[in-house]
Each structure stands twice: as structure tokens, then as C-alpha cells.
Amino acid sequence: MSQSKMALKPYLEAINDHCNQLSKDELKDIILHLAKEMAVGERSTFLSKLYSISPVKPTVPDEIDETDIRKKLFHEIDALKEEIQERVSSIEDGSFWDMRDYDDYYDYHEEPDYISEDQIDELESLFNTTDNYFLDDHLILARDLYEKLFQLIDEFDGFDSYEYGYPLSSDTFFIKEYRARYCRCVYETSHK
């Protein structure tokens, strides 16, 4: 079955007429849809063509001091790890109850969670920060941070199960997505 041929002028007029009916957001969605359809090997070419015809110059990721950021966030991850270790140790040796007030939330008959809600929130915040570096194309930094965060999680058996009180897969905590992005960072930076 042969496709019908169309001359350039009616082709461009049809596209122009269609685009005139669309809002800016709808046009953006169409371009993004077309971009998603590109094979991996064609993405750079598509982007180059888009940049070459665009009146707006492409922005490059902001230069950041990755060494200082890495050092600061590694320190935060290590501090969180120590905090979790202290909590787990205190629960397992019973000293957790010595630090609690009688009016506190936990009852002696309830088992406390090995990881507090605040610690989960802090871990989630660290993953989100790392995710932002990934999305801003700071892949080496993101790779190193993801690796450090996964080392923290792997340190504790069952960390991502209910055994520790909070599963690491929820509506706001996308552990599988973080692992996929870490793998992408490793792949993209393997030659650097």
C-alpha cells in the first residue's frame, strides 16, 4: 500500500493551520510527544535540529561546585545513618524505653519502628535532592549520591520492608524510580 504524496506547500499549510488552533501548552506537549518517539540514537539529532531552528538559545546546566555539594550531602547521609543505627541499637538493647517519657506516644506493649517518621522524611528529602541533580544533568554527582544512599539502605536488612516500620515504596517515595535513575547515571557516566 503506497502512501499518498503531498507537495511541500499544502503540507506546511496543513501543519500551520493545525498549529494555529493550539495553545502554547498544547504545542509544547506535541513537541515532547514527538521527542519521546525518537530512538535513543536519534535524540541528539532531534535536539540539535530543534535548537538550530529555535529563536531561543539552549540553556546549559548551571555550573555548581560538585565537590562541596558531594561533601555536604555525604555528611548528611552519614549523620542519618548514625542516627538510625543509634535508634536501632537502643530499641534492640532496651535503652530506647529509658529515653521515653511515660506520657510519650509509645506504650510499653507496642514495638517502636526502627526508623522514625522524621528519618524517613530526611531520607526521602535526600533522594529528592539527588533526583534534582539527576534531572539537572549533573549525572556524576547524582550517581555518587544515589550510590551512597543505597549503601545506607543496604546497611540495614529489611530496610525497605515493613520490618523497619515504613516501606520505601509509597505514593511519595519512589524507590524503584530512584534505582532506575541510579542505573541510568552509571550507564551515562561509565565512560567518564
Confidence of residue 72 (pLDDT cuts 50, 70, 90): very high
Cα(75)–Cα(79) distance, rounded to whole angstroms? 6
Number of Cβ within 10 Å of residue 123's Cβ equals 22
Are the beta carbons of 179 and 150 closer than 8 angstroms?
yes
Cα(90)–Cα(95) distance, rounded to whole angstroms? 5
Cα(137)–Cα(143) distance, rounded to whole angstroms? 11
Say whether pLDDT at 175 is over 70: yes
Pull the grid cell for residue 93.
Answer: 538493647
pTM of structure: 0.59
Q: What is the pLDDT of residue 129?
A: 93
Q: Structural domain boundaries of the chain?
A: 8-53, 66-189
Dump pLDDT digits (tens) for 111-168: 777 788 888 889 989 999 999 999 888 999 999 999 999 998 888 755 655 444 455 5
Closest CA to 73 of 135, 155, 133: 133
